[in-house]
């Protein structure tokens, strides 16, 4: 069973509203084992809505049309669906009465145009509204002799979610006649380009192509690294999870050194958990990142169990006077090591992590833009490393955060 999504609204095309509804529906369809291969946005124009809907029904078994069910002149979803069905609109007295009672119960005058929401295509089934005024619709359609269906749901997110869960998904599953589950697992990686990761996994990808299930996709996410997503479709959740576990092990066997987490893990959440498991506390000294590392860490619930704080030593004098960095170049591995030792001392932490570098736009102390020096003091070990990062100023600073945390992760796991 394939069900695609058509989102209605000129405001979506203008970027005035972000289309989170389609994303949410995609997640629900995947969890229910319903294929959804296309999501389209179209403005408030009757001819264009009808044209796009006809095109989508040529390929899909079902289409959910989201939005355009309100009472105003530019709410045209009903008219477009009616044209595709080849029928007419008529007033549903039951729906009209529900709308009237809702306004009366709130002590408000009902404008007559609200009754547009009670106009229903002949042959359609109403999805009762429980949270607003616009009901949803289940509309049977015949396309080249094939029985298909169009669902119409409001664009208001909480109204849409209620109708999809209460009516659309049960109807889709009943029509599909099969039970299936689509599950995904995402491996989070850092330290390899998308092309390089693809090359390392070429052989495994060929085997997956032959198997057909699961599928593998790369998702680039800027300064968050490259995600490797495995997606399996099986009769049960247990079967899908077992298949994903099998192929996850295969991926890790090829590139396990750069996998830092799974699904919703972040580099900071992984590092904090590693520190927690080892009973270690963390103190930071930040120059080039100006507090960004601390901001990411404190965004993780429970960070206070591990994180002591950060000294934002942006000025050279703070490095010298507070952290005890010797006079000399402040963008160097020696300075980074001294900052890490100073952070551990000043903050009373077990581990000191320090970042100093050049974000640009010009070089500093003869060091080119993109230079990052990371220092780490842990136990009796003091180490440092210089990285050359690409990108503009903000991108370089954001990449510095995850690069430094990844160095700490490697030391904690023994992979560095």
* DSSP three-state, residue 126: strand
- pLDDT tens for the chain, 416 residues: list them: 899 999 999 999 999 999 999 999 998 888 888 899 999 999 999 999 999 999 999 999 999 999 999 888 888 999 999 999 999 999 988 888 888 887 887 787 777 777 888 899 999 999 998 877 788 999 999 999 999 999 999 999 999 999 999 999 999 989 988 767 888 899 999 988 889 999 999 999 999 999 989 999 888 776 788 999 998 989 888 999 999 999 999 999 999 889 999 999 999 999 999 999 999 999 999 999 999 999 999 999 999 999 999 999 999 999 999 999 999 999 999 999 999 999 999 999 999 999 999 999 998 888 999 999 999 999 999 999 999 998 889 999 999 999 999 999 999 998 76
Q: Give the tokens for residue 147.
A: 């029985």
Alpha carbon 391 to chain centroid, angstroms: 23
- Across 163-266, the runs of DSSP E, i.e. the strands, are 181-189, 215-220, 226-234, 259-262
* Residue recorded with tokens 């045209």: 76
Q: Return the CATH number of 267-413, one of 3.40.50.300, 3.20.20.60, 3.40.720.10, 3.90.950.20.
A: 3.90.950.20
Q: Decide: 405 and 267 in contact? Cβ < 8 Å.
A: yes
Q: Which positions ≥6 away from 51 have C-beta within 8 Å?
A: none
Burial of 300 (C-beta count, 10 Å sphere; 0-12/13-18/19+):
middle
* DSSP three-state, residue 137: strand
Please check whether the domain covering 181-262 is classified as CATH 3.30.70.2860: yes
Domain 3-176, CATH:
3.40.980.10
In the chain, where are the structural domains located?
Answer: 3-176, 181-262, 267-413
Alpha carbon 386 to chain centroid, angstroms: 31
Q: What does the alpha-carbon distance between residue 343 and residue 350 come to, in Å, rounded to a whole number?
A: 10
């Amino acid at each position: 069973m394939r069900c695609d999504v058509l989102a209605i609204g000129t405001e979506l095309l203008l970027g005035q509203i972000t289309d989170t509804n389609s994303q949410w529906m995609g997640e629900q369809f995947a969890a229910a084992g319903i294929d959804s291969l296309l999501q389209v946005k179209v403005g408030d124009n009757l001819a264009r809505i009808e044209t796009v809907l006809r095109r989508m029904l040529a390929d899909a078994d079902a289409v959910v049309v989201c939005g355009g069910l309100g009472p105003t002149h530019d709410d045209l979803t009903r008219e477009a669906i009616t044209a595709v069905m080849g029928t007419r609109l008529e007033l549903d007295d039951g729906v009209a009465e529900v709308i009237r009672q809702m306004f009366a119960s709130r002590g408000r005058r009902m404008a007559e145009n609200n009754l547009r929401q009670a106009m229903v295509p002949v042959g359609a089934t109403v999805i009762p509204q429980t949270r607003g005024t616009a009901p949803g619709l289940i509309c049977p359609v015949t396309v080249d002799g094939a029985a298909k269906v169009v669902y119409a749901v409001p664009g208001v997110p909480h109204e849409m979610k209620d109708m999809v869960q209460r009516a659309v998904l049960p109807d889709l599953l009943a029509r599909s006649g099969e039970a299936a589950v689509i599950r995904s697992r995402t491996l989070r990686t850092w330290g390899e380009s998308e092309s390089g990761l693809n090359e390392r996994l070429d052989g495994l990808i060929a085997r997956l192509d032959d198997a057909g299930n699961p599928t593998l996709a790369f998702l680039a996410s800027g300064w968050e690294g490259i995600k490797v997503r495995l997606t399996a479709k099986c009769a049960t959740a247990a079967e899908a999870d077992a298949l994903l576990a099998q192929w996850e092990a295969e991926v890790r066997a090829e590139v396990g050194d750069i996998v830092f987490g799974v699904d919703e893990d972040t580099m900071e959440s992984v590092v904090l958990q590693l520190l927690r498991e080892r009973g270690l506390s963390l103190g930071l000294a930040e120059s080039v990142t100006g507090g960004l590392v601390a901001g990411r860490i404190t965004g993780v619930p429970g960070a206070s169990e591990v994180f002591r704080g950060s000294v934002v030593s942006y000025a050279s004098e703070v490095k010298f006077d507070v952290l005890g960095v010797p006079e000399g170049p402040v963008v160097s591995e020696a300075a980074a090591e001294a900052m890490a030792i100073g952070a551990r001392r000043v903050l009373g932490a077990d581990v000191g992590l320090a970042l100093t570098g050049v974000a640009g736009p010009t070089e500093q102390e003869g060091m080119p833009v993109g230079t990052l020096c990371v220092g780490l003091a842990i136990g009796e070990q003091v180490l440092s490393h210089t990285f050359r990062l690409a990108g503009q100023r903000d991108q370089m600073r954001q990449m510095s955060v995850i690069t430094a945390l990844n160095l700490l992760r490697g030391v904690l796991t023994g992979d560095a």
